[in-house]
Amino acid sequence: MSSIWKESGTLAARFWEKGILEDCPVYDMHGHMGPHDSIYFKRCSAEDMVAHLRRIGVRRFVFSHDQALAGLMRNEQVVEICKQFPDILRMYISVNPHFSENIKEDLAKYDQWKPYVAGLKFLADYHEVPVTDKAYEYAWKFADERGIPVLNHTWGTSPYNGGKVMYEAISRYPNAKTFLGHCIFGEWDYAAKCVNDFDNVYLELTAVPGERNRIEKLLEATSSKKILLGTDLPWFDEYQAVGGVLSAKISDEEKRDILYRNAQEIFGDDK
């Protein structure tokens, strides 16, 4: 067993003992909700997910509903879900580039939907529209003018949201707080370049804890101040993601940055 789990008093040792850290809240910046036709989810309803989140000490869970991303429900319905659990749930407005009128209608309600709305979510790979396409321009400009978060699904070499495309989009809209979901998985150098060249860019760790030593390498290339925790729950599990961060060979202060401090800094008073 790695010595990191044996060192008395460390975050990892305490978590392995109790399964929760009272003084280290978790902010999950990349979640989903609802059933999906290609996979069985043990827990995908708001009630079941929140119960699971509370067990591990999640303070905020920011999600985009899979049905909203697919255009099968509207974002205003997701707001109503958040209202059921106002202490923990926050949402991204799902932006589907194939429904331009919906985008404008929903963004017009951004202020009305506070405090439940936390930013925008782009899923360009699945919608098969590059994030640099004109179909995203209205939403990008909205985020850029307000300096609000945009969580992008990213993946290495993708023509829709790979490293080159993301770098171009960030260059156009540097004031938006761009979260690189999955850290442009596989294009690690591009991920570091985006973070290091622009102030408002953050790496988000969904799927990354499964890559041995990848968290350590990301910190070597960037900084713990520019990395956020995410899980893709219910696709992945909170314990796997949090355990991956706590198991990494980085300092407890760096782990706190990733698990909650950076998110608190971004979202200000909404803690």
**pLDDT for residue 36:** 86
3-class SS string, the chain: CCHHHCCCCCHHHHHHHHCCCCCCCEEEEEEEECCECCECCCCCCHHHHHHHHHHHCEEEEEEEEHHHHCCCCCHHHHHHHHHHCCCCEEEEEEECCCCHHHHHHHHCCCCCCCCCEEEEEECHHHHCCCCCCHHHHHHHHHHHHHCCEEEEEEECCCCCCCHHHHHHHHHHCCCCEEEEEEEEECCHHHHHHHHHHCCCEEEECCCHHHCCCHHHHHHHHCCHHHEECCCCCCCCCHHHHHHHHHHCCCCHHHHHHHHHHHHHHHHCCCC
Q: Which two tokens stand for residue 50?
A: 């929140």
**pLDDT for residue 3:** 59
Tell me if 153 sits within 8 A of 124, measured CB to CB. yes
**pLDDT for residue 169:** 98
Q: Which two tokens stand for residue 114?
A: 């506070």
State how far the Cα of 146 lies from the Cα of 29, in Å rounded to an integer. Answer: 19
Full-model pTM: 0.95
pLDDT by residue for the chain (271 residues), tens digit each? 455 555 778 999 999 999 999 999 999 999 999 988 888 898 999 999 999 999 999 999 999 999 999 999 999 999 999 999 999 999 999 999 999 999 999 999 999 999 999 999 999 999 999 999 999 999 999 999 999 999 999 999 999 999 999 999 999 999 999 999 999 999 999 999 999 999 999 999 999 998 899 999 999 999 999 999 999 999 999 999 999 999 999 999 999 999 999 999 999 855 4
